Amino acid sequence: MANFKLVYFDGRGRGELARLVLKAAAIPFEDVRFGYGSDAWPGEWKAKCPFGQLPVLFVDDKPLAQSTAIARYLAKEFHLAGKTAWEQARADMLVDEFGDIMTEMYKCMFESDETKKSELNDKFNNDMLPRHLGYLENLLKENNGGKSFFVGDSLTWADLGLVNVYDLLGSTDAPFAKTPLLTDLCKRVREIPNIAAWIKTRPQTPW
């Protein structure tokens, strides 16, 4: 088996979906993390990254950049991408949607102007997030009434992507109050032994 080294900052963020895929598949990997302001980053690492940024996955020392490309590669490699071309496309669609939600979330988190930050938070929490969670609730319901997984009849990286968003939102059911199927899916995926063990033991970070 190849050796995997995931390099990212000391947070979940754009690197956590890849970690969740690796943990779900029970694949060992080196989890390299840089704290903000660390002397180790950028250091010699930046030159090793295809686009000079993180995350980067090294597979037997060969680099792969871009968070979604990394997670997709791992999902395909370890049979968590969907069983058919259609399931894979649907899973890709969902992961892209989670990426859109995360992008808006980060705009709120990292805005330095307090007035603008308040406006962004209000729009995100009262418009964008509930609207998009509603879309996701409907898509989940289309597959076996929402009682199974997002696509097909087994776990995919789309389900793990939902868990990642749930955790970034504070690991609370409050934002999901009107989407009970999403809440139930999060609970079921977080209770998978490998995932539950990772959530319990991973470094505790604010994002």
1-37: per-residue pLDDT in tens?
899 999 999 999 999 999 999 999 999 999 999 987 6
Q: Is 52 left (phi over 0), alpha (psi -120 to 50) or beta?
A: left
Question: Could you count the other beta carbons within 10 Å of the beta carbon of residue 33?
Answer: 17
Question: Could you count the other beta carbons within 10 Å of the beta carbon of residue 74?
Answer: 27
Token readout for 133 is 């969670």
pLDDT of residue 46: 85
Low-confidence ranges of the chain (pLDDT < 70): 37-38
Nearest partner of 189 among 160, 157, 154, judged by Cα: 160
Q: Check: CB of residue 185 under 8 Å from CB of residue 159.
A: yes
Nearest partner of 150 among 165, 164, 142, judged by Cα: 142
pLDDT of residue 92: 98
pLDDT of residue 171: 84
Q: How far is CA 64 from CA 18, 58, 73, 144, in A?
A: 12, 6, 9, 35
Q: How far apart are CA 81 and CA 206, in angstroms?
A: 28
202 alpha carbon, distance to own chain's centre:
14
Q: How far apart are CA 31 and CA 8, in angstroms?
A: 8
pLDDT of residue 200: 97
pLDDT of residue 133: 98
